[in-house]
């Protein structure tokens, strides 16, 4: 009986190589083969048919198998644990992101909107609710109320809801593209129960508004309250405080400094060094023995001399332009003299009879307040319009090398609202129901070259409103046209002027308003007219002590039931020329003339003579300064020219004798 038979007789499985292979397949065959080989080795060891080396080999082989099985089980467990450690943190992160957008994003967005609007409008802003959607990106704003910084218990505007959806694909590119949006219940000048005042650093007042307010404080119409009799015969003028005299002194200091600079520039010493260097070079070239080399160096010397003469000629021309006879210096003096006369008349309590100045006093503060508000809003909006991005391409073309731009199809701006529907009630006092649309609102018009247009219409009975606006912000230069008609507007409790002098109260009236504005680049041209009809007017002159004037003005206003208010703007955007006119100013001007026309004209003539005398004294001093300085500069320039001509002629003769070169 062989070893196998003995193994079977003992009740052990057949461990011969390949005994069970017909019954197995794939990996099971390999595992079975290995198992049988190991068992065969063990059987041989039990029967002591192997040496010690074989025994060691069998034990090692068996240990390796056990270790590999244990390691495989461990790796399987670690693989399962690793999957959970990878998935669980990411799932928690996604859950937190979802919770943030579901619970916290809308309140944070609402807070940001309120802060941004309050900063722009300088008044309290309230929003009842903000709702966002993400599967189909959308935004809804409910119950927005924006306070009016000029009226504590008034809203500038409010609306019931604003809704729109955004393009989800473009949103991934950080672009807000809105096909259609709608505003419901947009109203203006509504009442509010709480104050809208907040502490925000006020926007800087434009320079042209500051200047107008400063001038209107001294308008002659404010002087009538101090008049108890006629105009005083003796009028004093402090010449030291005159603006025109001060301007003359500033001009004197300015030209004195400028002529000192001119004299320093007219110094000939800087040319002496160059002349000396050319003369020394001529001596060295003349001593040159090599004729060809000498001719070459003489040509180089000639070029240096030509450059010196050219520089001298240019410097002389520039200095001659700086020398002035003073005529340009007197351009602003006449305007300053007019302001001095008005200020002196103010101190003398002499009312102005100029219709334009009276109109500025009556309607100026109210008009300028509105201009300042809307100017700041427009200026803020313009800042958010970036320059044409195509300019960068043109600038890059100037650089060296070749730049290839891959233009993206359907390249949209960062923000684009293609169509916005608007409807609501205009004001509580005039509840005109209106509706309309605004097209192509974008912050990058160069990428979406479509005109920004607005068209709104509404009517109720005899009252109506119509707005048409077209702005080509993508053109160079940018242009816009706006036309507004607001007819049949009821007016109550409107006042012009102030209680300290002349005040006109419009108890009730009907106003027909029209506005036409055109802009081209940084220039504006606009007109506004308010035609008041069926007006009930009362004048208030309680502070006027001069009885003839008071009676004259009151009698004139008792007959008025219609009047116009006109405002015109023209010129540069940052400093427009503003003109105001009203029929009320003409009534007051006529009353002033009727009361003391002759006295005022005599007083004005007296003041003008004193101002002219003070300015003439300063002007004579400035004329003498300019004349003396001009003569000094002319003398020095003439001497320098003679010196340069003499040197140039001498060098020409020497070059001609040496090589026949003409300078």
> How much of the chain exceeds pLDDT 70, in percent?
64
Burial of 580 (0-12, 13-18, 19+ CB in 10 A): buried
Burial of 1 (0-12, 13-18, 19+ CB in 10 A): exposed
Entry pTM: 0.56
Question: Taking the domains of the chain in order of start, what are their residue ranges?
Answer: 3-87, 122-202+408-469
Q: What is the pLDDT of residue 506?
A: 86
Q: Which tens digit of pLDDT belongs to each residue from 573-593?
A: 888 888 888 888 888 777 776
pLDDT of residue 394: 43
Average pLDDT, rounded, for the chain:
74
pLDDT tens per residue, range 363-385: 777 777 777 777 776 776 666 55
Whether 473 has a pLDDT exceeding 70, the answer reads yes
More confident position, 49 or 320: 320
Q: Quick one: pLDDT at residue 464? A: 93
At 203 the pLDDT is: 60
Q: 134 CB contacts (<8 Å, ≥6 apart)?
A: 101
SS3 assignment, position 603: helix
Percent of the chain with pLDDT over 90: 14
Distances (CA, A) of 124 to 131, 146, 372, 427, 649: 21, 6, 19, 19, 82
Q: Which residues pair with 513 in a beta bridge?
A: 486, 530
In 3-state terms, what secondary structure has residue 127? strand
Question: Is the pLDDT confidence value at 480 over 80?
Answer: yes
The DSSP code sequence of 375-407 is: HHHHHHHHHTSPPPTHHHHHHHHTSSS-----P
How far apart (Å, rounded) are the C-alpha atoms in residues 472 and 478?
Answer: 6
pLDDT score at 205: 63
pLDDT attached to residue 235: 56
3 state DSSP class of 350:
coil
Q: Please say whether the beta carbons of 146 and 155 come within 8 A.
A: yes
Query: Between these two residues, 522 and 437, which has the higher pLDDT value?
Result: 437
Longest dimension (CA), the chain: 161
pLDDT of residue 404: 57
Helix (H, G, I), strand (E, B) or coil at 4: helix
Contact present, 421 and 434 (Cβ < 8 Å): no
Over residues 142-184, the pLDDT tens digits come to: 999 999 887 888 998 999 999 988 888 888 788 888 889 999 9
Q: What is the pLDDT averaged over residues 625-651?
A: 78
The 8-class DSSP code of residue 20 comes to S
Determine the Cα angle at 440 with ends 570 and 576, to 5°. 10
- Least confident stretch, 125-134, 137-146, 541-550, 644-653: 541-550
How far is Cα 511 from Cα 490, in angstroms, rounded to an integer? 6
Residue 93, pLDDT > 90, answer: no
Segment 121-141, tens digit of pLDDT: 888 999 999 888 877 888 899
CB-facing half-sphere around the CA of 173: CA atoms within 13 A: 14
């Amino acid at each position: 009986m062989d070893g196998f038979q003995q193994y079977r007789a003992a009740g052990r499985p057949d461990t011969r190589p390949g005994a069970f292979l017909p019954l197995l397949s794939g990996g099971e065959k390999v595992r079975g083969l290995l198992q049988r080989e190991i068992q065969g080795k063990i059987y041989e060891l039990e029967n002591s048919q192997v040496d010690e080396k074989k025994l060691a080999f069998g034990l090692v082989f068996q240990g390796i198998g056990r270790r590999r099985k244990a390691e495989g089980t461990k790796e399987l467990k670690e693989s399962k644990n690793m999957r959970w450690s990878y998935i669980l943190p990411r799932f928690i992160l996604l859950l937190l992101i979802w919770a943030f957008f579901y619970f916290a994003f809308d309140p944070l967005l609402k807070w940001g909107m309120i802060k941004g609007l309050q900063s722009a409008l300088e008044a309290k802003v309230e929003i009842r609710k903000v709702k966002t959607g993400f599967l189909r990106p959308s935004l809804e704003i409910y119950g927005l109320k924006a306070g009016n910084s000029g009226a504590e218990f008034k809203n500038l505007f409010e609306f019931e809801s604003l809704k729109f959806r955004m393009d989800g694909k473009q949103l991934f590119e950080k672009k807000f593209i809105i096909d259609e949006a709608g505003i419901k219940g947009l109203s203006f000048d509504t009442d509010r129960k709480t104050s809208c005042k907040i502490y925000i650093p006020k926007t800087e007042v434009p320079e042209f508004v500051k200047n107008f307010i400063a001038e209107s404080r001294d308008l002659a119409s404010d002087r009538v309250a101090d008049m108890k009799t006629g105009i005083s015969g003796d009028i004093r003028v402090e010449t030291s405080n005159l603006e025109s005299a001060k301007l003359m002194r500033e001009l004197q200091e300015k030209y004195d400094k400028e002529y000192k600079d001119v004299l320093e520039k007219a110094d000939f010493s800087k040319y002496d060094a160059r002349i000396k260097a050319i003369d020394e070079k001529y001596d060295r070239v003349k001593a040159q023995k090599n004729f060809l080399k000498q001719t070459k160096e003489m040509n180089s010397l000639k070029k240096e001399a030509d450059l010196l003469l050219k520089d001298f000629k240019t410097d002389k021309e520039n200095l001659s332009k700086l020398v002035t006879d003073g005529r340009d210096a007197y351009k602003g003096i006449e305007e300053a003299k007019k302001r001095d006369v008005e200020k002196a008349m103010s101190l003398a309590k002499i009312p102005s009879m100029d219709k334009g100045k009276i109109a500025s006093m009556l309607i100026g503060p109210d008009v300028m307040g509105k201009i300042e508000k809307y100017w700041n809003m427009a200026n803020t909006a313009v800042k958010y319009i970036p320059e044409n991005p195509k300019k960068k391409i043109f600038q890059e073309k100037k650089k060296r090398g070749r730049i290839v731009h891959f233009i993206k199809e359907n390249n949209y701006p960062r923000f684009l609202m293609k169509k916005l529907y608007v409807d609501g009630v205009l004001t509580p006092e005039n509840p005109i129901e209106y509706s309309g649309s605004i097209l192509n609102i974008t912050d990058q018009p160069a990428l979406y070259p479509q005109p920004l247009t607005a068209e709104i219409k509404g009517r109720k009975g005899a009252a109506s409103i119509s707005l048409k606006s077209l702005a080509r912000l993508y053109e160079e230069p940018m242009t816009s046209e706006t036309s507004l008609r607001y007819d049949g507007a009821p007016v109550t409790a409107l006042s012009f002027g102030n209680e300290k002098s002349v005040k006109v109260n419009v108890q009730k009236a009907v106003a027909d308003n029209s506005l036409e504005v055109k802009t081209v680049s940084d220039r504006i041209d606009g007109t506004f007219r308010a035609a008041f009809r069926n007006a009930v007017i009362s004048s208030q002159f309680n502070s006027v002590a001069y009885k003839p004037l008071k009676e004259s003005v009151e009698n004139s206003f008792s007959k008025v039931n219609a009047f116009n208010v006109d405002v015109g703007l023209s010129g540069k955007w940052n400093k427009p020329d503003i003109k105001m006119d009203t029929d009320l100013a003409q009534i007051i001007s006529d009353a002033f003339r009727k009361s003391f026309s002759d006295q005022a004209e005599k007083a004005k003539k007296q003041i003008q003579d004193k101002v002219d005398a003070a300015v003439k004294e300063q002007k004579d001093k400035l004329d003498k300064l300019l004349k003396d300085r001009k003569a000094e500069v002319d003398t020095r320039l003439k001497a320098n020219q003679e010196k340069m001509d003499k040197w140039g002629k001498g060098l020409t003769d020497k070059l001609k004798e040496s090589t026949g070169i003409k300078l």
